[in-house]
Chain A
Amino acid sequence: MNTDHLSPYILTLVTFVPLAGALLLVLLPRRDRDIRIFSLVVSLLAFGLSLHLPVHLHRGQPGFQFEIDKPWISSPNIHYHMGTDGISVWLIVLTTFLTPLCVLISWKSVRDRVKEFFILLLILETALIGVFTSLDLFLFYFFWEATLIPMALLIGVFGHERKVYAAVKFFMYTMIASVFMLAAILWLYAQTHSFDFVTIRDAIANHQVANFPAAAQWLFLGFFIAFAVKVPLFPFHTWLPDAHVEAPTAGSVLLAGVLLKMGTYGMLRFNLGLFPDQARSNAPWIIALALIGIIYGALVAMVQPNMKKLIAYSSVSHLGFVVLGIFSFTTAGLNGAMFVMLAHGVSTGGLFMLAGVLHERRHTYEISEFGGLASPMPVYAASFLFIVLASVGLPLLNGFVGEFLVLSGAFQAKPLYGTLAATGVIWSACYLLWMFQRVFYGKVTHPVNNSVSDLLGFEKAAIWPCAVAALVMGVAPIMWLAAIDPAVQAALTPFAQVVSKVVVQ
């Protein structure tokens, strides 16, 4: 099928279909059922359209594809420049994959202000996709900030008891961090008169930017702080548990599944892409923070009495792997980092949905409130176990591939990194399986739990696709890595000498 005529517009379509859906939702009458069905159709449409990208991506070819570059504002020189490569393409698909599942999982659990909820969800989807598709720094910042409001409102309006505190904390943390990025972007613009990622990257690489060596470290940090808070890298992680615990299920899924990846994607694309020398020189302390994050996140997760908080801290731990992989500057490490991002999106998304199912029935996330759930809810228990195993990193499921690659990359960089990070894998098995044991095995400890119903149809429809994706990703990771690898190789070109040096050692 010849679809080349579509290619300049496909990214625009994928990005803005959800927004168009949200605008139509505004006009729709407040009949909750229609609104839910409509949102599901829109998000599935976006998913279908986004599948065009990996299918038609020329895998061997480095550089950006499906590009569209139109002047938007002449002064300052802002372009509507979008494009994707092997790095961002899967993150786009991850976003469009998770959104319909979010719609499904919210089918019954959101009863109040249904219209507003789905409008916010769809706006959030557009902003998230926009972050991954923009190649103009201005456009990128625009979408980056645009994700804040729908997410903060989803937490603050539809969340649980301490929702306002969590929403404001989330907003202020990320907002304050990202203005440093804005300052760095503005500085780059002032020197290069361009916001274009490719132009700026080439200008820096060819030493055409005035005053660059003096400012480079500050610019690197300006970008890094914005991304580190989003990831969140230890010690900037304190907003995350609050936001997760208070967020509605769909909010948590997108927060853990996609929003956190904005940070790691940003590091990979901008910190490594624009400032390779600074990335290199700052790597030791960043890796140290990542390692602390891996171990600290896991240890704190272990003692959490709250299921959602436990999953939130496990995210801190897993995202530490991603940062470690990125700053190992090895092909395996970067491939692994990308794969962990996708795997974590799928499996943690699934875990949050499962936790949400339980909250729907018992209105609590306290692990001590449960016990022996395997007998009243067998299907639920099986699904939970599957996703937990995927998250733990059982071979043949998706968690294993990414963590293995990251660890081998870390070993190549420095054996100590790999050794320390490897303990994180053990910890994650501990806290997740222990949590599973406490919730599902043994006798039913609370009589209320005898009467809880098993997974309903729409919940199965939301959770099982995650399980299927986890299995497929674990069995055939090459389907993903084939696209990721060339892009990662290209991203590592400035580090070529470094890599070969490591190999020689």
Chain B
Amino acid sequence: MTLLLAQMQAIPQSVDYVRILPELVLSIFGILVMVLDPLVDEEKSQKTLGYIGFIGTIAALLSTWYMAQSPGLAFSNIVRVDSFSIFFTCLVIAIAAVVILSSFEYMAVQRIRAGEYYALILFSVVGMVLMASAVELVMIFIGLEISSISTYILAGFRRHEASSSESSLKYFLLGSFATAFFLYGVALMFGATGSTNIDIISQKLQSGSVGLLVYAAMAMMFVGLGFKVAIAPFHIWTPDVYEGAPAPVVGFMSTAPKAAAFAVLLRVVFAINAPGRFWFLWVAAALSMALRNAGALVQSNVKRLLAYSSKAHAGYLLVAFAMTTQENSATGISAAMFYTAAYAAMNVGAFAVVSHFANSGERFVNLEDYEGLGRSSPLLAATLTIFLLSLIGIPITGGFFAKFYVFSAALRADLVWLTLIGVVNSAIGAYYYLRIIVVMYMRESRKQVPVTPVPFGLATALAVSIFATLYLGILPNRILQLAQHSAQDLLPQPPAAAAQMPQPAPTSVH
């Protein structure tokens, strides 16, 4: 007890604050938006708040760069800055920046008072960044809650629509249930190993025998995280939630919280070197890939369709998790990280187009509304096509290399059947993305669907997404090397190397 007290009294050094600088910057800008919201003019100033939010994300990106100069542990080993956490920090902040840019127009068209919208995005990003960088399960839980609660509210932002409230409520009820599972898992893990620190748990599990309690703890944590990343069989919520939530929010919550949750999952699976995970992950991956095809083929709502697709992508990503040996794990982790980045780029972009096209009250989100878009708005259609091709996994897009890395990692680990299930599903899955392309280019429009010009903010957001999608598809080297580097940081060091590392101070209560 005294030990814990001593630690709690330990005064944080200034470097500790540097190591959570992005979180601080984002929180400050979030608070700023909230404070300014009642003060500024109703009609005109909504955009100003949005710009403040956008500047906040840019400032956070810059502060991440500053933070990256001083890697290490902070706040009594709760947070660690390493290339792994920096990768995900940059990713979620970048997603938020693009989403904020693409929301300006949406908010104006939907006549939603948007002040707290931008603040909530910033706050949820704070939670995600904490999830990515925390090495303490309790801190991860807090990060998870911060990000989830903000996202629950964001899902219900179309206040006057019943479907949006439904979406928010469903997401909230099921989501809190899932986080409870996660917390229960953390508690069991603490019971089994006497610690909630990932490094210590990892050492304990490597040295000692693994009891039943550890398996139960892993299963609980997996359920909680599985819900967040929407893998089968914890995915049933996605279509309803995605359908009701505002389109830019869907773009946000199908990428950023998932990226953060995958970061946690990577830590839990690989840094702890979770025992007994193999078949668990195998089955979940196979189910996620296969189940969505059944559902997605009959969807006519584009948002629902993309919801089903996000489930499948979570399945492909999960393939990279089913690695067991040290060497394969590194490939698996880097493949998963690359996939997260590529998926973020293409999905945010696709939803930005969908949210622009939805028009007021989200009237135009059905497949038949996209008929003839190739003629009435060729540039927008071409943009969406690039994202869809990337989601299919066609060469020169990021989606191709993402799938490629995942499946080659799986084959290197001799997961031949899982790979076959994956590649066949990705080919079948091409059909429903193709449907969107088909209606855009090969059918004449039967309905009068207004096409408004693309405003500057959205154009920038789309340009960034396209650039990222193609960059990852043509020159994937750099990002992959970053991911490989991070994978080395994440994996527990072999005992010989670990002995030379400074021992993390124990946080257990004895």
Residues of A within 8 A of B (CB): 73-76, 113, 141-143, 145-146, 148-149, 153, 156-157, 163-164, 167-168, 171-172, 175-176, 178-180, 182-183, 186-187, 189-190
Contacts and interface: CB of A to CB of B under 8 A. Distances in A.
A54 B378 CA distance: 41
B423 A167 contact: no
Contacts of B428: 172, 176
Nearest to B443: A164
23 contacts: A73-B475, A73-B476, A76-B404, A76-B408, A141-B395, A145-B394, A145-B395, A145-B400, A156-B438, A156-B442, A164-B438, A168-B431, A172-B431, A175-B430, A176-B424, A176-B427, A176-B428, A178-B427, A179-B423, A179-B427, A183-B423, A189-B408, A190-B412
A153 B374 CA distance: 12
B460 interface: no
Contacts of A157: 374, 441-442
Interface stretch (B11-19, B158-166, B463-471, B477-485): B477-485
Contacts of B477: 73-75
Contacts of B434: 168, 171-172
A149 B389 contact: yes
In the A-B complex, the 8 residue pairs with the smallest Cβ-Cβ separation, listed nearest first, are A179-B423, A190-B412, A176-B427, A190-B411, A142-B395, A156-B442, A179-B427, A186-B408
Interface in B363-409: 374-375, 389, 394-396, 400, 404-405, 407-408
A179 B431 contact: no
Contacts of B442: 156-157, 163-164, 167
B407 A186 contact: yes
Contacts of A168: 431, 434, 438
Interface in B159-201: none
A176 B420 CA distance: 11
B282 to A, nearest CB: 17
A24 to B, nearest CB: 17
Given A145-B395, A172-B427, 18 more contacts: A75-B481, A76-B404, A142-B395, A142-B396, A146-B394, A146-B395, A157-B441, A168-B438, A172-B434, A176-B427, A180-B423, A183-B420, A183-B423, A186-B404, A186-B407, A186-B408, A190-B408, A190-B411
A377 B438 CA distance: 38
Contacts of B443: 164
A171 B441 CA distance: 15
Contacts of B408: 76, 186, 189-190
A176 B389 CA distance: 15
Nearest to B477: A73
B381 to A, nearest CB: 11
B426 A149 contact: no
B419 A171 contact: no
B416 interface: yes
A70 B431 CA distance: 35
Contact of B411 (A113, A142, A148, A187): A187
B389 to A, nearest CB: 7
B423 A75 contact: no
A186 B484 contact: no
A75 B395 contact: no
A176 B427 CA distance: 5
A146 B424 CA distance: 18
Interface of B: 374-375, 389, 394-396, 400, 404-405, 407-408, 411-412, 416, 419-420, 423-424, 426-428, 430-431, 434, 438, 441-443, 475-477, 480-481, 484
A85 B431 CA distance: 37
Contacts of A179: 423-424, 426-427
A75 B484 contact: yes
A148 B393 CA distance: 12
Nearest to B413: A190
B4 to A, nearest CB: 44
Nearest to A76: B408
A182 B416 contact: no
B472 to A, nearest CB: 11
A150 to B, nearest CB: 11
Contacts of A73: 475-477, 480
B402 to A, nearest CB: 13
Contacts of A149: 389, 394
Centre residue among B412, B430, B438 by max chain A CB count within 10 A: B438
Contacts of A171: 430, 434
B298 to A, nearest CB: 16
Nearest to A143: B395
Contacts of A180: 423
A189 B411 CA distance: 9
Nearest to A144: B395
Contacts of A145: 394-395, 400
A179 B424 CA distance: 7
Nearest to A174: B427
A433 B441 CA distance: 39
Contact of A146 (B396, B412, B430, B484): B396
Nearest to A26: B382
A142 B389 CA distance: 13
Contacts of A163: 442
Nearest to B374: A157
A189 B412 CA distance: 8
B427 A175 contact: yes
Contacts of B407: 182-183, 186
A172 B374 CA distance: 21
Nearest to A156: B442
Nearest to A187: B411
B411 A186 contact: yes
A207 B411 CA distance: 20
B362 to A, nearest CB: 27
Nearest to A145: B395
Contacts of B374: 157
A317 to B, nearest CB: 28
